[in-house]
């Protein structure tokens, strides 16, 4: 992309979740509300992004006429288990019913949809993005709270 247009803006996202999303993280609140035990992939740490915040980051970078490659994820790093546990906490704090009382991590090789090799540690550095934006990008927990509010959880 940058070879074809050196002035292009490329924004890398990771573990995106949002309303109407088909990703595991987008569907997780419904799963936690219904299942007593939730099993999910373990052994991976990364960055995640609420779609609403991703759109703000992209819009703000475009408005500043940024060029090059930027990481458009929220601050902090997490695992799927930590993400699920935080979702449970926020849902309960909001007075929502949560059936899940146990989150189990499974080895990636036990989950057929994750047979594609993936790095165990892949958080993205947002320091350059924050510098160009002139603001701090909120932590992923804030994005999760915003998402849960958006979907009525």
Per residue in 45-86, pLDDT tens? 999 999 999 999 999 999 999 999 999 999 999 999 999 999
Residue 139 belongs to a domain: yes
Mean pLDDT score of the chain: 94
CA distance 94 to 89: 9
Residue 131 belongs to a domain: yes
| Domain span holding position 37 | 9-150
What's the confidence (pLDDT) of residue 115? Answer: 65
Number of domains forming the structure of the chain: 1
Residue 4 belongs to a domain: no
Residue 141 belongs to a domain: yes
Residue 120 belongs to a domain: yes
Q: What percent of the chain has pLDDT over 70?
A: 96
Q: Write the CATH number for 140.
A: 3.40.50.720
Residue 78 belongs to a domain: yes
Torsion of CA 19, 132, 63, 125, to 10 degrees: -30
Residue 2 belongs to a domain: no
Question: What's this model's pTM, rounded to 2 decimal places?
Answer: 0.92
């Amino acid at each position: 992309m940058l070879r074809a247009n050196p002035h292009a803006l490329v924004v890398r996202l990771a573990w995106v979740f949002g309303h109407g999303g088909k990703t595991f993280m987008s569907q997780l609140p419904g799963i936690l509300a219904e299942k007593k035990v939730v099993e999910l992939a373990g052994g991976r740490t990364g960055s995640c992004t609420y779609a609403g915040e991703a759109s703000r980051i992209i819009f703000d970078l475009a408005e500043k006429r940024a060029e090059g490659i930027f990481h458009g994820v929220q601050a902090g790093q997490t695992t799927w288990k930590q993400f699920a546990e935080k979702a449970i906490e926020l849902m309960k704090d909001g007075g929502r019913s949560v059936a899940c009382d146990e989150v189990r991590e499974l080895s990636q090789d036990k989950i057929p949809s994750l047979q594609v090799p993936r790095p165990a540690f892949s958080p993205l550095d947002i320091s350059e993005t924050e510098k160009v934006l002139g603001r701090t990008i909120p932590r992923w927990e804030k994005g999760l709270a915003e998402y849960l509010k958006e979907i009525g959880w």
